């Protein structure tokens, strides 16, 4: 499959409409044309065209009729969850966690394995492919491809892992192209925090218009949604809060500098000082909210779950004190709803979003 060309403007509008209808329908209850027309602020005739397109592709189906008083009964429509599948892989330095999901993002099956020390690329790619193949054997529906979320920075359009520390056996590797060639399937590579934000947005539809997701794994990073759009930045590394300095001349960081938030956070945890670690997260969140003005902060990632109560309390206190003179600023702080599956599920949902019609850097082999 050749690289997907950028959609033309009209195709992009159609894609966004298809995606919006699917996003409403996947929440569960069957929907009518009128409900969809109202939600999208378009005419019922336009909805008919969108539904015809989606039904022709097998993504949606009729789901019976509803009699609402006199006149013609109303036809209802639903998503066909078993029509498509996507695989999501979450790669860290030590672990590989994968899921296969249906068209609504529900997990069909998951796999997890330790990979020891970061393996060199010629060993990493077959390990990723082996887990993907195991997951590919599970569940019905056409398999669309594989999403891979990993710590960044990641050159998203190019599908290349960039990395920040040296030496790093993965630095500069075209991981998307290598994995696509190995599997013979389209692959999408993204920063773990952005995959996580997509996964969370699927769980909390319409609530994350202005939101920051703080991901606490081996590193510390954030993904941002501002006015409904995922922010990537000029170099695709918006939200790299782990390397913002929280203490001058502080703990040495893997990036070569001192006092970075992620170095201070892990130094505090290593010293057994959970409260100090939580204060580092709180400082990062307060600065982030000050900079980008979000109304929701989601905390996720394997490292934070063990001490999430301390962390959430510290963040809420910092926001309360930090905005004491601005009572109109209200920021909801919450823990991710997807647990340790968050990044893998999000990476799979990014592949589904491409099928839904949203532009995503999903690229086939060759
Ligand atoms: Zn650093």
Helix, strand, coil % (nearest 5) of the chain? 40, 25, 35
Q: Is residue 172 part of a domain?
A: yes
Domain stop point among 34, 56, 79: 79
pLDDT, position 34: 93
Describe the strand order of the beta sheet including 332-335 as a list of residue ranges: 229-231, 220-226, 211-216, 296-300, 332-335
CA distance 327 to 258: 35
Q: 30 and 60: one domain?
A: yes
Distance (angstroms) between ligand 1 centre and the Cα of 166 equals 12
Strands (E), 246-295: none
pLDDT, position 3: 47
pLDDT tens across the length of the chain (366 residues)? 444 455 566 666 778 899 999 999 998 889 999 999 999 999 999 999 999 999 999 999 999 998 877 888 899 999 999 999 999 999 998 899 999 999 999 999 999 999 888 899 999 999 999 999 999 999 999 999 999 999 988 999 999 999 877 678 899 999 999 999 999 999 999 999 999 999 999 988 888 999 999 999 988 999 999 998 899 999 999 999 999 999 999 999 988 999 999 999 999 999 999 999 999 999 999 999 999 999 999 999 988 888 899 999 999 999 999 999 999 999 999 999 999 999 999 999 999 999 888 878 888 887
Q: 230 and 280: one domain?
A: yes
CA distance 56 to 25: 16
The CB density around residue 172, as the number of other CB atoms within 10 Å, is 12
Q: 44 and 92: one domain?
A: no
Domain stop point among 29, 62, 79: 79
Q: 211 and 330: one domain?
A: yes
Q: Residues 6 or more apart from 157 whose CB is under 8 A from it?
A: 236, 361
CA distance 242 to 221: 5
Domain stop point among 79, 111, 129: 79
8 A C-beta contact, residue 32 and residue 75: yes
Q: Is residue 295 part of a domain?
A: yes
Q: 15 and 71: one domain?
A: yes
8 A C-beta contact, residue 19 and residue 228: no
Q: Is residue 153 part of a domain?
A: yes
CA distance 17 to 24: 11
**Distance from the Cα of residue 23 to its chain's centroid:** 15
Q: 27 and 111: one domain?
A: no
8 A C-beta contact, residue 182 and residue 123: no
pLDDT, position 364: 87
Q: Is residue 366 part of a domain?
A: no
Q: Angle between the 33-40 and 44-56 helix axes, to the nearest 10 degrees?
A: 110
pLDDT, position 2: 45
Q: 87 and 75: one domain?
A: no
Spell 109-143 as b/e; 16+ CB within 10 A means b.
bbbeeebeeeeebeebbeebbebbeebbeebebeb
Distance (angstroms) between ligand 1 centre and the Cα of 160 equals 21
HSE value, Cβ hemisphere, 13 Å, CA-based, for 160: 9
Domain that holds residue 129: 83-196+342-356
| Radius of gyration in angstroms for the set of CA atoms belonging to the chain, rounded to a whole number | 22
Distance (angstroms) between ligand 1 centre and the Cα of 230 equals 24
CA distance 235 to 279: 29
Q: The tokens 């003005």 sit on which residue?
A: 293
Name the token pair of 1: 């499959």
> DSSP per residue over 3-56, as a string?
PPPPPPHHHHHHHHHHHHHHHHHTTSS-EEHHHHHHHHTS-HHHHHHHHHHHHH
Q: 58 and 114: one domain?
A: no
- Name the residue among 178, 148, 192 with its Cα closest to residue 362: 148
Distance (angstroms) between ligand 1 centre and the Cα of 237 equals 14
Q: Is residue 259 part of a domain?
A: yes
Q: 230 and 184: one domain?
A: no
Distance (angstroms) between ligand 1 centre and the Cα of 167 equals 14
Total domain count for the chain? 3
Is the previous residue joined to 153 through a cis bond, with omega within 30 degrees of 0?
Answer: yes
Q: Is residue 17 part of a domain?
A: yes
Distance (angstroms) between ligand 1 centre and the Cα of 258 equals 7
Q: Angle between the 261-270 and 274-292 helix axes, to the nearest 10 degrees?
A: 160
Name the token pair of 165: 């520390």
Q: 73 and 127: one domain?
A: no
**What residues form DSSP beta bridges with 229?**
226
Q: Is residue 201 part of a domain?
A: no
8 A C-beta contact, residue 333 and residue 317: no
Name the token pair of 133: 């193949």
Q: What is the DSSP letter of 137?
A: T
Residues found in the chain:
366
Distance (angstroms) between ligand 1 centre and the Cα of 253 equals 5
Q: Is residue 181 part of a domain?
A: yes
Distance (angstroms) between ligand 1 centre and the Cα of 245 equals 8
Q: 216 and 192: one domain?
A: no
8 A C-beta contact, residue 260 and residue 253: yes
Q: 147 and 168: one domain?
A: yes
Distance (angstroms) between ligand 1 centre and the Cα of 267 equals 13
CATH of the domain at 231: 3.30.420.40
pTM: 0.93
Distance (angstroms) between ligand 1 centre and the Cα of 276 equals 18
pLDDT, position 360: 83
CATH of the domain at 37: 1.10.10.10
């Amino acid at each position: 499959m050749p690289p997907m060309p950028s959609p033309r403007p009209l195709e992009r509008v159609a894609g966004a409409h298809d995606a919006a209808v699917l996003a409403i329908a996947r929440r569960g209850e069957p929907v009518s044309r009128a409900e969809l027309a109202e939600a999208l602020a378009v005419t019922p005739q336009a909805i008919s065209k969108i539904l015809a397109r989606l039904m022709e592709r097998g993504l949606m189906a009729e789901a019976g009729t509803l009699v609402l008083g006199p006149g013609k009964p109303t036809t209802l429509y639903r998503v066909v969850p078993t029509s498509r599948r996507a695989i999501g892989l979450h790669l860290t330095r030590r672990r590989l966690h994968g899921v296969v999901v249906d068209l609504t993002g529900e997990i069909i099956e998951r796999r997890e394995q330790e990979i020891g020390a970061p393996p060199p690329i010629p060993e990493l790619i077959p390990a990723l492919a082996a887990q993907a193949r195991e997951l590919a054997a599970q569940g019905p529906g056409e398999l669309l491809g594989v999403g891979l979320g990993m710590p960044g920075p990641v050159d998203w359009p190019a599908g290349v892992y960039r990395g920040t520390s040296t030496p790093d056996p993965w630095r500069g590797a075209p991981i998307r192209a290598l994995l696509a060639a190995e599997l013979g399937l389209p692959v999408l590579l993204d920063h773990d925090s952005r995959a996580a934000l997509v996964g969370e947005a699927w769980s909390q539809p319409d609530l994350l218009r202005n939101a920051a997701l703080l991901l606490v794994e081996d590193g510390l990073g954030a993904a941002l949604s501002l006015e409904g759009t995922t922010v990537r930045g000029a170099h695709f590394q918006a939200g790299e809060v782990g390397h913002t300095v929280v203490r001058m001349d502080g703990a040495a960081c893997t990036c070569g500098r001192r006092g970075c938030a992620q170095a201070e956070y892990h130094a505090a945890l290593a010293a057994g000082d959970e409260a100090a670690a939580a204060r580092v997260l709180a400082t990062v969140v307060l600065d982030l909210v000050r900079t980008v003005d979000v109304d929701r902060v989601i905390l996720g990632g394997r490292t934070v779950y063990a001490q999430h109560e301390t962390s959430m309390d510290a963040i809420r206190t910092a926001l309360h004190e930090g905005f004491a003179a601005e009572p109109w600023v209200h920021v909801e702080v919450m823990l991710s709803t997807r647990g340790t599956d968050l990044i893998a599920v999000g990476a799979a949902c990014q592949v589904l979003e491409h099928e839904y019609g949203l532009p995503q850097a999903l690229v086939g082999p060759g």
